[in-house]
Homo-oligomer: A and B are copies of this chain.
């Protein structure tokens, strides 16, 4: 009866993206390559006392045969993702093992960042070494996105050409921005402190073919903590003018929907409190934001953080008290955070890192009072350990994590 006898698109009943994709033979190889790469990489950094693993060690750890591991490792070595050290004759009998370590200065990841008072580029190699670092101070409050991102792009391009001249391959880049970034599209919705909104930062960088992903600054900074010893899951809270957070679960970022989580700065501490820029009343930001703390301590809003530390160390009771009250408010909001996410470790980043000695007790005390599971878990509050401009390191690290997760793409 239908006049058009064309092939009618049938409703098959199977939804299109139902689950992951089909596994073929080469999927197997990819997965095992990843397994071997991870075994080598995760063995490397913190317990530096131990010898790097050999092919046989990797075989034992992964459950693969020595034969299989051998061919896989050969691939990784050929791809310059893994390097062999000189066979160190151990004190044991038998043929000496060939230690396998992450390759140095072969493949690098790039971390980019624009924040209120600086922009920068950092490159890490697979061993975690900083092979390039370029930070420019500036005042980017209410700045021009095209100009600033163009400048950052030029800086990054310089770094890339220099590294490539030295024979390294740049695997990709992560751009950290202090705002709401759509984890799916990579577009920036709004960055209040920069005065930016609704733009595509990757295009403005002008970095050509280099794959660049964009993310929120606090979230990339959270990933930088993974370079050291941390529990597999933690909340990274970054204090600045605003207060952002990254949720790390099993060593990877929690990004439901579009990744707009961790907005701890606008958790209500007191509905009768002062009005916040977001329109609500009594947001945490009004108690524990950088400006709120400086004001409470009787310091000018543009005072450097060192001034606050100096005041405390000079036994300024006002300053100490300001931090104590900020810590209680922070604890209150973090109690909600912990109650809602079930993650029991809090890492204090941003300006909180330096202030941690005077914040920690108050935060922890409130957490102990208010977290329901407190009797059954070990609550932990600690300072971040990733150093200056953590988002740069975290971003670069994340690029390399992808390389290790899919070594085939880099063979």
Which of A's residues lie within 8 Å of B, judged by CB?
Answer: 10-16, 18-25, 27-28, 31-32, 34-35, 38-39, 42-44, 47, 49-53, 57-58, 60-64, 92, 180, 182, 189, 233, 245, 249-250, 254-264, 266-272, 278-280, 332, 335-337, 339-344, 369-370, 372-373, 375-377
Contact, CB under 8 Å: B53 / A14: yes
CB neighbours of A258 from chain B (8 A)? 342, 373, 376-377
Smallest CB separation, A36 vs chain B (Å): 9
B residues less than 8 Å from A31 (CB atoms): 20, 23, 27
Report the copy number of this chain in the oligomer. Answer: 2
> In the complex the two chains form, is A340's CB within 8 Å of B336's CB?
yes
Q: Is the interface of A mostly helix, strand, loop or mixed?
A: loop
Q: Which of B14, B23, B250 contacts A57 (CB 8 A)?
A: B14
What CA separation (Å) do A64 and B257 show in the bound complex? 29
Q: Give 22 pairs: A residue, B residue, CB < 8 Å, sorted on A.
A: A12-B53, A13-B44, A14-B61, A19-B34, A19-B42, A23-B28, A180-B373, A233-B257, A257-B343, A258-B373, A259-B342, A260-B373, A261-B342, A268-B268, A268-B269, A268-B332, A268-B336, A268-B370, A271-B332, A278-B372, A279-B369, A336-B336
Contacts of A337 in B (CB 8 A): 340
For the complex formed, measure the closest distance between the CB of A388 and the CB atoms of chain B, giving whole angstroms.
27
Q: Is the CB of A342 within 8 A of B51?
A: no
In-complex Cβ contact of A377 among B60, B64, B260 (8 A): B260
Nearest first, the 8 A-B pairs at minimum CB distance are: A261-B342, A14-B61, A263-B339, A13-B50, A22-B63, A13-B43, A12-B57, A260-B373
Q: Is the CB of B23 within 8 A of A38?
A: no
Complexed CA–CA distance, A11 and B54 (Å): 12
Decide if B266 touches A256 in the complex (CB within 8 Å): no
What is the bound-complex CA distance between A96 and B343, given in angstroms?
Answer: 53
B341 near A261 with CB under 8 A, answer yes
Please judge, given known A-B contacts A271-B270, A340-B340, A342-B258, whether A20 and B47 are in contact too, CB under 8 Å.
Answer: no
A13 pairs with B52, CB closer than 8 A: yes
* Chain B residues whose C-beta falls within 8 Å of the C-beta of A60 in the assembled complex: 12, 14
Name the residue in A12, A259, A272 with the highest tally of chain B Cβ atoms < 10 Å from its Cβ: A12
